[in-house]
């Protein structure tokens, strides 16, 4: 807003100066000497006083500061009883970001139509229409002659970020349950509803997109009543795109969501909702202040890491950073603690003032990655440069783990860990956009659990570290007694005409059916237990294809289960290519192994000796392809009748190729690995 007003004032200053110069020239047109003296006078005077545009600019800056100061004072006068912290629960593309924009416009935070998706700050969030990073924005709303501070915590909805969602829900007192009038209740909405309900949040049902010609409002209302058992009288039907009825939501928030509980007289106690990295100030933490106050210069300590920091700045998001003199209990705000390493900002960690330690929040658990990929620099790319860039990219996503590893085929690289398949897909897309062909990304893998004779667990994240099956079993010489793989419970909604196709897809992916419900709206809700390894292998894409794009999917962790798992390796002339190894169920080994060798054969160039490509599992070759050798015609100058000489030359050539094969080394271009992995 300030930038628009400043530009307007600057444009007004130019014609004013132009009119002034024209009037001076006109009044002195008959007196050249007077005009000359006036010009010299103006020149000498202009060297001593600032130009008109500079004065205008300074006055606009001072007016901006005065406006910000008035805003700070207005916020500081609002008591905690008039705070309302809320979130929005919705499925992908149900209009959560658009509704957020309308609420910010109604409260005067942004100009109408001047911004789109204000709380989606990452490019990938705008492109995919999903929320990845939790964001917040404060609003002031005048209701019944009182100021209310409304704090919207916009959190991700996907299960990959469930830990972040639960921390965001812990910072609010209620949520808007958003349902698309044209699509109805979807799987992700149901999953997030259960999470919000379990945390005792007040839920306000909102029916969105009522302006669409195919919107079925009665059906959406019926679904809200049947699924969530929420009062029909609380439902507000709106169009976030056009702004229709959106103004009815704000009074509902004030009247039905309870204010936060906390005391400014108690010692400081706050927890982290999210964090991101800024190249100028370091880590910026998004926190919920439960008790006490916090201000610049205060020294705080982490309950988990025990590290101490001195606060450099505190403030609210309005929608960008608005520095404040102090923050008080009940507020959701940002803090710059002077932290340089984002790995120290753990989601859910408790912070308190040094010397006034309090009991930290229970239930803190650091997020664990569930999907892993290998990343290796392509040929000709310097490792150290790429390592520095990758570490910088990881700074903005605390949940990504990064550690170095070495491959016998691809050299030095990294192993990246993610919270789930969507998280890995989003980060991989960012890597490819920013680094292009500079990186070779391996197939996603999941962690497997090995249980030894002493009952201790060992997690295997790299297929190359997977032990031989002779070490697993009940025998005396076996080191491990059990091998387990992670499972998830998926929940999907789709039209009832696709039930057979979806059941067949889940059964083909080793799924175990848990529930099947036919809804009165023509939809089916199905629950399956599915191996996580199948889920990350483009299961959602296959589900979309089976239902022509009408299915929605959400999933939750279902723990580990014992399974018959083996490692499938790809061999080139007897040498295993560790970057292409993969762990999978025994039932998939035969078909996958034969498919691998056929698809990898075109990427291997002809050598002077025969190259054998094999697929091996459990020390058994299950697939083979041969790349024929380049052959020199040693009989070209030989007389046709000299049979003994002919046999001698052919035998010598055969012996030479056999020797060359034993000592020769097959060179595979890194582009071949990249093309094979992207197949």
C-alpha distance from residue 503 to each of 529, 549, 561 (Å): 12, 16, 21
Reading phi first (left if > 0) and then psi (alpha if -120 to 50, else beta), residue 460 is in beta
SS3 track for 447-464: CEEEEECCCCEEEECCHH
What H or E segment, with its residue span, contains residue 586? helix 586-600
Output the six-digit token pair for 634: 């040693």
Residue 210 assigned to a binding site: yes
Cis preceding linkage at 319, omega within 30: yes
- How far apart CA 329 and CA 288 sit, in angstroms, is 8
Residue 97 assigned to a binding site: yes
Could you tell me which of 604, 496, 494 has the C-alpha nearest to residue 553?
494
C-alpha distance from residue 234 to each of 191, 201, 258 (Å): 21, 15, 16
- Strands (DSSP E) contained in 209-346 are 236-237, 269-278, 282-291, 293-295, 299-302, 308-310, 313-317, 321-323, 326-328, 332-336
Percent of residues in the chain assigned helix, strand, coil, to nearest 5: 35, 30, 35
Residue 208 assigned to a binding site: yes
Whether the CB-CB separation of 565 and 446 falls below 8 Å is answered with: no
- How far apart CA 630 and CA 609 sit, in angstroms, is 7
**Residue 179, C-beta contacts closer than 8 angstroms, at least 6 positions apart:** 90, 94, 185, 189, 205, 206, 207, 208, 220, 223, 224
Residue 654 assigned to a binding site: no
- How far apart CA 626 and CA 557 sit, in angstroms, is 43
Residue 407 assigned to a binding site: no
Distance of CA 189 to the CA centre of its chain: 18
Distance of CA 380 to the CA centre of its chain: 30
Residue 211 assigned to a binding site: yes
β-strand partners of 272: 287
Q: What is the CA radius of gyration of the chain?
A: 33
Transcribe 143-165 into DSSP letters.
Answer: ETTEEEEEEEEE---SGGGHHHH
Whether the CB-CB separation of 346 and 272 falls below 8 Å is answered with: yes
Beta strands 83-89; 146-154: pairing state: parallel
First to last CA, the chain: 48
What H or E segment, with its residue span, contains residue 252? helix 249-256
Residue 93 assigned to a binding site: yes
Does the CA dihedral 375-376-380-383 come out positive or negative?
positive
Does the CA dihedral 541-547-549-550 come out positive or negative?
negative
Residue 6 assigned to a binding site: no
Q: Which residues are annotated as a binding site for GTP?
A: 90-97, 208-211
Binding residues: 90-97, 208-211
């Amino acid at each position: 807003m300030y930038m628009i007003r400043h530009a307007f004032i600057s444009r007004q200053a130019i014609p004013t100066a132009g009119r002034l110069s024209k009037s001076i020239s006109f009044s002195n047109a008959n007196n050249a000497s007077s005009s000359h003296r006036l010009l010299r006078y103006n020149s000498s005077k202009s060297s001593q006083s600032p130009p008109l545009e500079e004065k205008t600019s300074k006055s606009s800056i001072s007016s901006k500061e005065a406006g910000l100061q008035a805003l700070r004072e207005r916020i500081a006068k609002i008591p905690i009883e008039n705070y309302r912290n809320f979130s929005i629960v919705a499925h992908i593309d149900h209009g959560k970001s658009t509704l957020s924009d309308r609420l910010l416009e109604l409260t005067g935070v942004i100009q109408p139509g001047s911004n789109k998706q204000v709380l989606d700050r990452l490019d990938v969030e705008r492109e995919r229409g999903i929320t990845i990073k939790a964001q917040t924005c404060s609003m002031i709303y005048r209701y019944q002659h009182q100021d209310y501070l409304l704090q919207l915590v916009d959190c991700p909805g996907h299960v990959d970020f469930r830990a972040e969602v639960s921390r965001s829900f812990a910072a609010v007192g209620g949520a808007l349950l958003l349902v698309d009038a044209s699509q109805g209740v979807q799987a992700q909405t149901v999953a997030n509803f259960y999470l919000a309900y379990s945390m005792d949040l007040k839920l306000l049902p909102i029916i969105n997109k009522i302006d669409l010609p195919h919107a079925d409002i009665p059906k959406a209302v019926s679904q809200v009543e049947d699924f969530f058992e929420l009062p029909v009288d609380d439902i507000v039907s709106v169009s976030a795109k056009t702004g229709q009825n959106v103004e009815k939501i704000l009074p509902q928030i004030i009247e039905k969501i309870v204010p936060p509980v906390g005391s400014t007289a108690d010692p400081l106690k706050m927890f982290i909702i999210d964090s991101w990295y800024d190249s100028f100030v370091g880590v910026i933490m998004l926190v919920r202040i439960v008790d006490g106050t916090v201000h610049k210069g205060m020294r705080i300590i982490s309950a988990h890491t025990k590290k101490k920091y001195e606060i450099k700045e505190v403030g609210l998001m309005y929608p960008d950073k608005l520095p404040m003199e102090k923050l008080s209990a009940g507020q959701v705000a940002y803090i710059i603690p002077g932290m340089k390493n984002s790995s120290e900002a753990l989601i859910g960690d408790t912070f308190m003032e040094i010397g006034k330690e309090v009991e930290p929040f229970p239930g803190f658990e650091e997020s664990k990655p569930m999907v892993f990929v290998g990343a290796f620099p392509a040929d000709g790319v310097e490792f150290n440069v790429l390592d520095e860039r990758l570490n910088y990219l990881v700074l903005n996503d605390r949940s990504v783990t990064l550690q170095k590893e070495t491959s016998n085929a691809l050299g030095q690289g990294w192993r990246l860990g993610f919270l789930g398949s969507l998280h890995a897909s989003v980060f991989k897309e960012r890597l490819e956009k920013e680094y292009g062909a500079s990186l070779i990304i391996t197939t996603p893998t999941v962690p497997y659990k090995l249980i030894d004779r002493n009952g201790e667990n060992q997690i295997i994240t790299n297929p190359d570290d997977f032990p031989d099956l002779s070490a697993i079993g009940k025998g005396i010489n076996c080191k491990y007694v059990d091998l387990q793989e992670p499972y998830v419970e998926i929940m999907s909604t789709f039209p009832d005409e696709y039930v057979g196709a979806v059941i067949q897809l889940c059964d083909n992916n080793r799924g175990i059916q848990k529930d099947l419900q036919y809804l009165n709206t023509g939809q089916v809700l199905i629950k399956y237990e599915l191996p996580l390894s199948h889920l990350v292998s483009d299961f959602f894409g296959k589900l979309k294809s089976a239902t022509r794009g009408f299915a929605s999917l959400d999933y939750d962790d279902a723990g580990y289960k014992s399974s018959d798992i083996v490692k499938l390796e790809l061999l080139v002339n007897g040498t295993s290519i560790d970057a292409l190894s993969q762990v999978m169920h025994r039932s998939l080994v035969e078909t996958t192994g034969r498919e691998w060798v056929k698809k990898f054969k075109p990427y291997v160039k002809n050598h002077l000796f025969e190259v054998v490509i094999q697929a091996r599992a459990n020390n058994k070759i299950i697939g083979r392809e041969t790349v024929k050798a380049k052959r020199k015609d040693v009989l070209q100058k030989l007389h046709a009748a000299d049979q003994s000489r002919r046999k001698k030359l052919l035998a010598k050539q055969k012996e030479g190729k056999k020797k060359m094969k034993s000592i020769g080394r097959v060179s595979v271009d890194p582009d071949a690995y990249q093309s094979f992995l992207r197949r």
